[in-house]
Amino acid sequence: MSDQHILFLTTTYPTFTDGDWTPAFVHELAKRVSAWSKKVVILTPRRPESKSYEYIDGVHVHRYPYFFSARFERLADSAIMPNLKKNPWMILQVPSLIISCFWHCGVLLWKYNISLIHAHWLFINWFIACLFKLFKKNLKVITTVHGSDLHTLWIFFTLVKKRVVYKSDRVTLVSHYLYKYLQKLLWKERPVEIVSMWVDEELFHHDGDIWTLREQYGCTWPVMLFVWRLAPEKWVDRILGLMPDLCAHIPDVKLLIVWDGPSLQALQTQVDTLWIQDAVEFIWAVSYKDLPQYYRLADLFISWSYKESFGLVAVEALLCNTPVVAPKWLWIDEIVVHWQTWYFYTTQQEALESCLAVLQQTTTYQTYRESVIEKYWWWSVTRVFLRLYDTV
């Protein structure tokens, strides 16, 4: 099946323009699959400044309009669910998004003679893919659940989630943690495949310049880092709550917060309230390819999230030889390769002690990069999907 055409349906896809920080993991998988003589076609919503069609890294990328004008299309800007939570009025764009996706999916199925759809996320993409199974009997559907869709609490989406494993020909989850969560939603067990998230080990490594960033942000020593969407469930406010005590022990400590999100304004207000303006820097516009230099700059990466489908940012930090301070929670077991690479906590005081233990140590911190690569290497994950594509 080397000439097989595969359609990727996704609502999260980068525009490849300057300043776009949308994660590129779907594109990275697509270009590696296409390198194995399989023709990959991407269908994703249009975003401002994006092109309606591009051919990038051997992948056909089609973007469809879904509202009156591109400047009003904000529902699928990066991620749908967070956007709906932030601006409920965006639900008005959901019907037109579904209709437009359905129409353009039908066009591409005919144009490329698609026999397999790989739907990323349940909302919109799985729904559209399974609709076409009613009209095209030989069409196969693989659904990958990344996590945010499973954590949705709306009644309608709960009903959809309960049916996904019965309508898809294959279902993949990014972690065992999600599998345990999915079991609670099913009437009976159905086989699913766990395929971990993937990282680009050639991009994320510990060799590179860090002094330019140190000068840019006025960092002396040491530096803490948080990377991911600023949302209430990430509990970044608790990380900020550590800073007054950390500054008392280490006056020159600096916390860099990389990303944007609905909690940004509240977090900025908290920084002013705690009088830690000199110790905290918000950095919202960092492209994916520039992200590794921030990991290399940091002396530790800190997370406080208890609700992660998969801790991809922690894996990226380890590949850049950066120690990780994280809570003891279910998702941790999924990505721990060697316990020596982690510092854990369950309380605010333990979190403070863990940070101090890392920041005040004098020995060079060493991670287990080779073991991380072996488990999350791009090509290892790609081979699993290639097997699924050939056997479905």
3-state secondary structure string, the chain? CCCCEEEEECCCCCCCCCCCCCCCHHHHHHHHHHCCCCEEEEEEECCCCCCCEEEECCEEEEEECCCCCHHHCCCCCCCHHHHHHHCHHHHHHHHHHHHHHHHHHHHHHHHHCCCEEEEECHHHHHHHHHHHHCCCCCCEEEEEECCCCCCCCCHHHHHHHHHHHHHCCEEEECCHHHHHHHHCCCCCCCCCEECCCCECCCCCCCCCCCHHHHHHCCCCCCEEEEECCCCHHHCHHHHHHHHHHHHHHCCCCEEEEECCCCCHHHHHHHHHHHCCHHHEEEECCCCHHHHHHHHHHCCEEECCCCCCCCCHHHHHHHHCCCCEEEECCCCHHHHCCCHHHEEEECCHHHHHHHHHHHHCCCCCCCCCHHHHHHHHEHHHHHHHHHHHHHHC
pTM for the whole structure: 0.83
Note whether 115 and 5 are within 8 A (CB).
yes
Query: What pLDDT was estimated at residue 43?
Result: 97
Query: What pLDDT was estimated at residue 41?
Result: 97
Digit-coded pLDDT (tens) for 210-258: 888 888 887 777 999 999 888 887 889 999 999 999 999 999 999 999 9
Query: What pLDDT was estimated at residue 364?
Result: 52
Query: What pLDDT was estimated at residue 234?
Result: 85
CA distances from 145 to 85, 109, 112, 179, 195 (A): 20, 22, 25, 10, 10
Contacts of 233 (CB under 8 A, 6+ apart): 305, 306, 307
Query: What pLDDT was estimated at residue 371?
Result: 66
Query: What pLDDT was estimated at residue 260?
Result: 81
The CATH number given to 5-198+377-391 is: 3.40.50.2000
Query: What pLDDT was estimated at residue 153?
Result: 43
Closest CA to 226 of 317, 138, 133, 135: 317
Query: What pLDDT was estimated at residue 267?
Result: 95
Residue type, 339: W
Domain 211-374 -> CATH class: alpha beta
pLDDT along the chain (392 residues), means of 10: 80 81 85 88 91 94 90 79 80 92 96 94 84 87 78 52 66 79 59 79 82 81 88 88 95 91 90 95 83 91 77 83 78 57 77 89 59 74 90 86
CA dihedral 172, 173, 179, 184 (to 10 degrees): -80
Query: What pLDDT was estimated at residue 83?
Result: 78
Same fold, 5-198+377-391 and 211-374: yes
User: Domain residue spans in the chain?
Assistant: 5-198+377-391, 211-374
Query: What pLDDT was estimated at residue 164?
Result: 54
Query: What pLDDT was estimated at residue 69?
Result: 80
